[in-house]
């Protein structure tokens, strides 16, 4: 009897990567804020944008920067006026996302997510 060899392992690995990518894409699409939305959002700017520039763009969009996240160019922001998400995008944001309780837990079986890690991703001041 001949074993399938590395082809099976590579196929399984590729399948897992594809399924994870599709699930992450679905979560990101579901959490995307419409242009007319306001409130506390996760603003994603290009990683090459400097922090002080991102800070200024958030202010110009009519929002308040709450804090940066550990991902470069990504900030938790708040804006009370309708259309805040659209103004963030007009200032160069790649996207604006609502609070999604699923995102921090996407690590699944690949990482241990404790209360400290969940608190790090919480979108509140």
Predicted confidence band at 62 (pLDDT cuts at 50, 70, 90)? very high
72 and 110 belong to one structural domain: yes
With CA atoms as reference, report the closest residue to 25 among 15, 14, 17. 17
Higher pLDDT among residues 75 and 122, named by residue: 75
99 and 40 belong to one structural domain: yes
85 and 110 belong to one structural domain: yes
Higher pLDDT among residues 11 and 122, named by residue: 11
CA distance 122 to 125: 9
**What integer pLDDT is reported at residue 106 of this predicted model?**
44
CA distance 10 to 16: 10
Specify which residues 43 forms β-bridges with: 75, 96
Does the model's pTM come out above 0.75?
no
Predicted confidence band at 3 (pLDDT cuts at 50, 70, 90)? low
Provide mean pLDDT across the span 56-79.
91
**What integer pLDDT is reported at residue 111 of this predicted model?**
52
Please check the confidence at residue 17 and state whether its pLDDT lies above 80.
Answer: yes
3 and 46 belong to one structural domain: no
Residue 43 phi, psi (nearest 5):
-100, 125
Token output for 75: 């900030």
Domain of 48 in residue numbering reads as 32-121
Domain count, the chain: 2
Long-range contacts of 18-24 (CB under 8 A, 24+ apart): 23/106, 24/106
40 and 51 belong to one structural domain: yes
26 and 68 belong to one structural domain: no
């Amino acid at each position: 009897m001949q074993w399938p060899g590395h082809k099976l392992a590579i196929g399984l690995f590729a399948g897992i990567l594809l399924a994870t990518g599709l699930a992450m894409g679905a979560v990101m699409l579901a959490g995307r804020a419409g242009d007319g939305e306001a409130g506390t959002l996760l603003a994603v700017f290009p990683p090459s944008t400097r922090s002080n520039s991102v800070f200024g763009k958030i202010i110009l969009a009519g929002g308040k920067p709450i804090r940066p996240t550990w991902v470069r160019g990504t900030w938790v922001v708040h804006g009370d006026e309708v259309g805040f998400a659209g103004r963030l995008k007009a200032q160069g944001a790649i996207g604006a996302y609502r609070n999604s309780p699923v995102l921090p837990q996407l690590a699944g079986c690949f990482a241990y997510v404790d209360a400290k890690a969940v608190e790090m991703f919480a979108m509140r001041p």
